[in-house]
Amino acid sequence: MALFSGKIVHRARDRWGSIEVVEDGAVRSLHFGTAARQSAMSLYEPDYLLLSYTRAMVAPLLFVEAPRRVLLVGLGGGSVAKFLLRHYPQCHIEAVELRPEVVGAARRWFDLPTPPNLEISIGDGAEFLFRADDGGYDLILIDAYDHAGMAPGLGEGDVLAAAARALRAGGAFSLNAWSAEHALFDKVERALLHHFERRVLRLPVTEKGNVILIGLDNALGLSAAGRLKRRAAELDQRLGIGLQQQLAALRRHNSLARIGRSIF
């Protein structure tokens, strides 16, 4: 049975394993030696967030109105970076990616541009967070996976504490977690609940094992139901990524008992 659905158009190998770019019709996907898609792009709409989990990753835009500085830990094919560059052109985006070959693939095969407001660093995401300025970012989005699953180092409490410190007042954080890795998922969620003082929301991705964990720097927005509903509708008109559905899912999956405060 073929591992990939489609034609392999690029293959590379580095110290962490293999990297494949696969084309299936009008969709180009990034793989790390398994059938799981790390990133995907429509050849007709290259800036659209094709994978449902990437659309959920940017749900913190509900809480941060005009991000000026964003940190992406894990670049992949650059889907989120391209989306933010298109819709928030005044925003400065910093991305840190462990694997140089992944950055090369994103530029060559996934149309990742090189504008002055996109700064890419090669290195370890945890070490980058330890050096990050306190209160330096409006958004921090962590999506760090290898062929085996979530990068375990980014789930350590001291790393998540550094991420919390690096958010400005009113900022927001999201982390792409894999619910099937029960022990690691529980560890990450417990650490986030501690460092964000229980201001942590779960956003399960429909029909996937991904759960996006969202941390908020403060409680603003958690009880402003009308304002959030209007904002989701306005953003959907501009961005077209289903934030009204994401908001409804946040309401369903986050009870008063779990996070200990009134929400939405």
Length of the chain: 264
- Rounded Cα distance between 7 and 10, Å, is 9
Q: Is 30 within the bounds of a domain? A: no
Q: In total, how many domains does the chain have?
A: 1
The CATH number for 203's domain is 3.40.50.150
Q: What's the rounded mean pLDDT across residues 104-129?
A: 97
If you average pLDDT over every residue of the chain, what do you get? 90
129 pLDDT higher than 90: yes
pLDDT attached to residue 57: 97
This prediction has a pTM of 0.93
60 vs 260 pLDDT, higher one: 60
Q: Is 151 within the bounds of a domain? A: yes
Q: Is 93 within the bounds of a domain? A: yes
Give the range among 142-151, 220-229, 245-254 with minimum mean pLDDT: 220-229
Q: Tell me, what DSSP letter sits at residue 154?
A: G
Q: Is 61 within the bounds of a domain? A: yes
pLDDT band at residue 4, thresholds of 50, 70 and 90? confident
Cα 169 to its chain centre, rounded Å, is 20
pLDDT attached to residue 223: 52
pLDDT band at residue 261, thresholds of 50, 70 and 90? low
198 pLDDT higher than 80: no
Amino acid symbol at 132: A
146 classed as catalytic: no
Q: Is 29 within the bounds of a domain? A: no
197 pLDDT higher than 90: no
Q: Is 25 within the bounds of a domain? A: no
Query: Structural domain of residue 112, as residue ranges?
Result: 51-259
pLDDT attached to residue 237: 96
Q: What are the tens digits of pLDDT across the range 202-222?
A: 999 988 889 999 999 875 545
Q: What are the tens digits of pLDDT across the range 47-93?
A: 999 999 999 999 999 999 899 999 999 999 999 999 999 999 999 99
Catalytic residue among 133, 134, 138, 143: 143
- Rounded Cα distance between 203 and 214, Å, is 8
**Residue 136 — φ and ψ, nearest 5°?**
-90, -15
Q: Is 81 within the bounds of a domain? A: yes
262 vs 186 pLDDT, higher one: 186
Q: Is 28 within the bounds of a domain? A: no
Q: What are the tens digits of pLDDT across the range 13-48?
A: 999 999 999 999 999 999 999 999 999 999 999 999
Classify the C-alpha dihedral 128-134-137-143 as positive or negative: positive
Q: Tell me, what DSSP letter sits at residue 133?
A: P
Q: What's the rounded mean pLDDT across residues 187-215?
A: 90
